[in-house]
Amino acid sequence: MADLRREGGQTAAASLLSEANVGAVLWNEPLAKYTTWKIGGPADCLIIPENKEQLKELVTLLHAHRIHWTQLGRGSNMLVADKGIRGAVIKLGQGFEELHFDGETVTAGGSLSFVKLSVLAGKQGLAGLEFAGGIPGSVGGAVYMNAGAHGSDVSRIFKSADIVLETGELVTYAAKDMAFDYRHSILHERKGIVTEAVFGLRQGDRKEISAVMASYKDRRRRTQPLQSATAGSVFRNPPGDHAARLIEAAGLKGLRIGGAEVSLQHANFIENTGQATAEDVLALMERIKETISEKNGIHMVPEVYVLGER
Q: Is 303 a catalytic residue?
A: yes
Which residue out of 76, 138, 233, 263 is catalytically annotated? 233
Which residue out of 183, 196, 261, 263 is catalytically annotated? 183
How far is the CA of 82 from the CAs of 79, 88, 273, in angstroms?
A: 9, 16, 16
What does the alpha-carbon distance between residue 165 and residue 47 come to, in Å, rounded to a whole number? 17
Spatial contact of 157 and 143, defined as CB atoms under 8 Å apart? no
Closest alpha carbon to 164 in 191, 199, 198, 186: 191
Task: Please spell the DSSP secondary structure of 233-275, one letter per residue.
Answer: --BPPPTTS-HHHHHHHTT-TT-EETTEEE-SS-TT-EEE-SS
- Phi and psi for 45 in degrees, rounded to 5? -155, 120
Q: How big is the chain by its Cα radius of gyration, in Å?
A: 20
Closest alpha carbon to 235 in 188, 279, 268, 284: 268
CA 72 to chain centre: 7
Closest alpha carbon to 259 in 281, 227, 291, 286: 281
Which residue out of 98, 248, 303, 309 is catalytically annotated? 303
Burial class (CB in 10 A: 0-12, 13-18, 19+), 108: buried
Task: Please spell the DSSP secondary structure of 104-166, one letter per residue.
Answer: TEEEEETTSBHHHHHHHHHHTTEES-GGGGG--SBHHHHHHTT-EETTEEGGGTEEEEEEEET
Q: Is 189 a catalytic residue?
A: no
Catalytic residue numbers read: 183, 233, 303
